[in-house]
Structure 1
């Protein structure tokens, strides 16, 4: 039986042009939903945001820019380390603007987490249970 993969990382939330401050990113992967990774960002015990990302997109973001919509990922070099830059666009404001957050994570830690998910459910072996999903949707469960 495959089990959940979880990891908590200290990441940096960009505030303004150059300031960054640490927040926690709780990554989780459930083999029952094999295409998705959930990220929950928190600070001082408060949940700041929750995002579900495509696992393959997250892996691709470690090596090349990906995403054109609400989530954009790309690798960056900072000093001696490699980072994963994650850009998130939220719901529109009444004035037409949108919430915008930039988070940087150490690429090695994200890669280690993904390696654990790939051991749990190897890429290409993901299964979807479409019949069960359609039954749930059609019966209103």
Structure 2
């Protein structure tokens, strides 16, 4: 399942709108995939920990490449997503804002597929697939 929404990229000229597709597959129950789009072109693709994304709606979480924190702007609750590229480069860094209600609705749908605490990763199957390559 997936949800398409607008995120705002924090830039020197203000917040620039981008499309984002958040996707979830119960086969990989810990991961939410995010693709940031400019029309049909994928600008970047990130994989987020679903639990960390959910917690980021309520408190700052994460370190290193990805951090999430709640943010309030113009009377609306948002999630602030900070993405960092390689340490030596600043070009890969980005700060994005997405409406909290959109992510909350998306996460509720993911929990309908795989409930919190019900995640299971079949390591034997994963190992078999890896060794078959």
Does TM, normalized by the shorter one, top 0.5? Answer: yes
Q: Which residue in the other structure is 1:50 paired with?
A: 45
Q: Which residue in the other structure is 2:17 paired with?
A: 22
Q: For residue 134 of structure 1, report the CA deviation from its aligned partner.
A: 1.8
What secondary structure sits across from 1:127 in the alignment?
coil
Q: For residue 76 of structure 1, report the CA deviation from its aligned partner.
A: 0.4
**Which whole-Å CA distance do the structure 1 matches of 2:45 and 2:115 have between them?**
25
Gapped regions of structure 1 (runs ≥ 5): none
Aligned residues: 132
What secondary structure sits across from 1:67 in the alignment?
strand
Gapped regions of structure 2 (runs ≥ 5): none
Q: CA RMSD in A?
A: 1.2
**Which whole-Å CA distance do the structure 1 matches of 2:89 and 2:41 have between them?**
24
Q: For residue 91 of structure 1, report the CA deviation from its aligned partner.
A: 2.9
Runs of 4+ in 1 over 2 A off after TM superposition: none
Q: For residue 73 of structure 1, report the CA deviation from its aligned partner.
A: 0.4
Q: For residue 90 of structure 1, report the CA deviation from its aligned partner.
A: 1.4
Q: Which residue in the other structure is 2:113 paired with?
A: 120
TM-score (ref. length: structure 1): 0.89
Q: Which residue in the other structure is 2:61 paired with?
A: 66
Is the aligned partner of 1:102 residue 2:95?
Answer: yes
